[in-house]
Amino acid sequence: MAKNALRKITMAVLAPAMAIGATVGLASAPASAAVWNSCDQWGNTSLNGYTLYNNIWGSGAGSQCIWANSGTNWGVWANHPNTGGIKSYPNSKKVINKTIASLGSLTSNYNVTVPSSGAYNTSYDIWDTDYDYEIMLWVNYNGAVGPLGTSQGNVTLGGHTWTVYKGTNGVNEVFSFLRTSDSSSGTVNIKPILSWIAGKGWMSSNETIGDVQFGYEITSSSGGLDFTTNNLTVSSS
């Protein structure tokens, strides 16, 4: 299933509004120790240098609540109908604001618990500051989901082997890296992936990487499913 281009417009246009205008609701969070929770469509907060977003952006969405014990330990309960189209991308964001060429390193550790049913992917979503380019790294996925664009073959980069897809949604270029086997925990060395893309001539090494997001792109989770980020850290130099 191709990715919905509306999300790209939403992320680019509404990101400032999400940070300014969202209100925090009361979620039925599964973590009793949660220091923050929200069931609001654009609910967001900042914790420990990360910004968390509930981010229910797709049409036909159901209900969804996000909770956080910290910026690196958070989760989502989502009940979205079994219909096509991405409903949400709850995520945690770290701002980088460095060019690819000037990055000494960019790495991330992840550890998640995801359901065995539903349709979703667990992914990094990496943007340049102008939202011209989007780099997605899918570490696991389930159900009727698929990337935008056409396959460019397999490549081993950043400690993982990926199938690479290249496409556009009419707003920005999209490069999707789908791990060839599902993973619930690991380390991703992101800098070599960005350098490889620049080396292919798909974007310039002078592009400034703005946001590194990590979360769950949910198409369906009928009946209510839990997605838990046990730990997520993003580091750069």
pTM: 0.87
Q: Containing domain of residue 129, as a range? A: 6-236
Q: Is residue 127 part of a domain?
A: yes
Distance CA(215)–CA(126), nearest Å, equals 11
Specify the amino acid at residue 43: G
Nearest-5° Cα angle at 178, 229 to 31:
10
> 87 CB contacts (<8 Å, ≥6 apart)?
56, 57, 58, 60, 61, 62, 64, 78, 80, 218, 219, 220
CATH number at residue 73: 2.60.120.180
Q: Does residue 28 register a pLDDT over 50?
A: no
What digits encode the pLDDT tens for the residues 198-222? 999 999 999 999 999 999 999 999 9
- Interstrand relation of 50-53 and 36-38 (parallel, antiparallel or unpaired): unpaired
* Residue 102 maps to a domain: yes
Q: How far apart are CA 197 and CA 201, in angstroms?
A: 7
**Residues 139 and 122: beta-carbon distance below 8 Å:** yes
Residue 46 lies inside a defined structural domain of this protein: yes
Q: Give the count of domains, the chain.
A: 1
Residue 24 pLDDT > 50: no
Q: What is the pLDDT of residues 91-123, one digit of tens each?
A: 999 999 999 999 999 999 999 999 999 999 999
In a domain, 86, yes or no: yes
Stretch 171-180: mean pLDDT:
96
Residue 153 lies in a domain: yes
The average pLDDT across 192-200 equals: 98
Tell me whether residue 1 is in a domain.
no
